[in-house]
Structure 1
């Protein structure tokens, strides 16, 4: 392969390679008798970009034919994008006189010879090739039934309505209008996202041929790259698609070259139904039932010895029942039931509160409003009383009442 790019076409070649560099890290070169094609693919294989330069784009173009009869003349090789991109920075159309590309079959290198206008300088770049591979894209740019075409200024105005942080765009295409949104109806909402919706009529496009109404969702980054390239050369942008979930193609055509991006899309309606069907209501209900107990309390309940707790409650209940039988026996002897309750309270207040048998339940005999029934406790109440047991402990000690620790500072 031997071709020469004149200085007036260096800007087109430079912008095309920089646009391809925003998609993939590897660039494929394929040359036949009619055109030279650059192709790249991103890592996730969701965006494919291809730029073809016709034979008329070059001042000199020659490709060696194959020896076997009946086979098309084609030369393929693959390069690292990082090795090619630094050579096409700056205003090369003002510096270079021409660029010559030389490649021989079965070679491990490709030569790029740059002839500068001043001082007759010839700079030769020798780039090592990667493993020889051929990238075939099974999707043609005009495979869809729907076709849209508009000026680059129209798409620039649409893109200016959206934020730089927006990563996706949803298009709702109907027979008479197009609606562009940065969200899809019924999807998950982001409270920090400013919703944008732009409505365009069919008359604002150069071509508006829609056979089937559809909704498509795709990434905004390839569209930004396409608009940036089209603005430099005032090219119209065409959209070719079928329906949501099938590839979308951005087309830019010129008599000497063409560039197209093939982007994968999503169907918002289908994705919404699948996400709603996967929602589990029992899981959310189970999660809400545990909101009133903290993680520390749950760990404490799991590590607690409930057998010892039940044994302690049984001892306290037997002591209280014994005291109740003693008070009932005394009331039967005296024959007066109404007078026995205050006498019983006096006797309970005279007990020693330091007794370990009464330390837990000493507050039950001080006030009838604080009495907690021991016989009708459920397991849940027992756990709660164990956790909040310190809430029922006395906060005032009677011997400390009336004791003066610091005297009055005033003499009066």
Structure 2
């Protein structure tokens, strides 16, 4: 394969490579009779990107690689290869410099060297040559048909970018809820997360805001936002129109764009199959009063029962929260209430010594109940009571009289004066 690209189209090629680098780690190069295809797949095989540059995009194009191994062999070779994305990004790193300095770019895939040769012809007769090692591979294709989707709507890429500015960069997945007259976009919240502790972002796009709008099935689709931002980054730089095609939850969503006869692009992304259809229903509003927020936080959610547990484990789990009332435990609870009342009085008024329960006192509990109570950490004493206990002697009005008084006996008499 050998092709020559004009300087104005080099920046388009560079932007396409940058957008694919945000999706996958390897770049697949597949020349054909109709042009050059650049493809990538992410590591989880949930996103696929494909740029197809047609013949008018090039100044000259030949998909047949020069057979330098056997020059007399008449067999035509079409090489399909892949190379790491980091190596190709080192060539097209700065798009601004390429636009200012590069006049044309030639790309070739000779058979003998097994290298991808990229040559930049810059201003003032400067030439830059890059040799990148590649690996031969089979073709990478995704099975989809553009006309096989029920719902389709078209809008400018800038409109999508402005709509997604409301979503934080840390958001991983978004949910698109399709209706007959609108598209509702919201960040996806996992079922395991507490909605009261998460930020909910929602935006509604009316039917009149799209260039074309045709929604057949009202459904919800959840997919990754990272790949969508990569698509919009390329489309917005060229002010292109983005076509979105969707069917139903669990089936892939397709984003497509094209510019005249120069190139076209397709991005296929997998959608999440919702386990609970009512988990991600759009809410009536995003405004929550402070009173409702406090009431929601104050009411704890019920703890779901554990699965595959025996009756004994269930009884032991319940006994942590509900302890049977026996006469001995009633006495213990009265002692605890009296102790708590004594501590409260001590913290507020009294300066008397605290009377802790002796370690050897029998509380009248069974061995199993004592083991359960050991699991809970004891409550630390109040700071004020502890301070008064430590500085007890300093707070007393009089000193104790039973302390030993130092002896006033003089063992060494004072020395004589100098005179």
TM-score by length of 2: 0.65
Q: How does 1:150-299 map to 2 (within 5 A)?
A: 150-183=155-188, 188-255=193-260, 256-268=262-274, 270=276, 281-283=305-307, 286=314, 288-289=317-318, 291=320
CA distance in 2, matches of 1:179, 1:185: 18
For residues 324-359 of structure 1, what are the alpha-carbon distances to aligned partners after superposition, in whole Å with 9 as ceiling and x for unaligned? xxxxxxxxxxxxxxxxxxxxxxxxxxxxxxxxxxx9
Distance in 2 separating the partners of 1:78 and 1:382: 67
Partner of 1:81: 85
The runs of 5 or more residues in structure 2 that have no matched partner are 68-74, 280-302, 323-357, 376-399, 407-419
1:104/1:66 CA distance change after superposition, 3 Å: closer
Give the Cα separation in 2 of the matches to 1:83 and 1:24.
13
Please list, as runs of the form range in 1=range in 2, the aligned pairs for 1:7-406 lying within 5 A after superposition: 7-64=7-64, 74-90=78-94, 91=96, 92-105=98-111, 107-118=113-124, 120-183=125-188, 188-255=193-260, 256-268=262-274, 270=276, 281-283=305-307, 286=314, 288-289=317-318, 291=320, 405-406=402-403
**3-state SS of paired residue (1:281):** coil
Q: Structure 1 residues 406, 194: closer, same or farther in 2, change over 3 A?
A: same
What is the CA–CA distance in structure 2 between the aligned matches of 1:189 and 1:381, rounded to whole Å? 33
Task: Find the residue that maps to 1:268 and give its secondary structure.
Answer: coil
Structure 1 gaps, min length 5: 274-278, 294-358, 365-371, 388-402
Paired residues in the alignment total 309
Higher helix proportion (structure 1 or 2): 1
1:114 and 1:385 map into 2 onto residues whose CA distance is 77
Structure 2 CA distance for partners of 1:123 and 1:282, relative to 1, 3 Å: closer
SS in 1 for 2:107: strand
Following superposition, the deviation at residue 405 of structure 1 comes to 2.8
Contact 1:33 1:74 in 2 (8 A): no
Q: From the superposition, tell whether residues 74 and 139 of structure 1 become closer, same or farther in structure 2 (CA, over 3 Å).
A: farther
Q: Distance in 2 between matches of 1:262 and 1:199?
A: 23
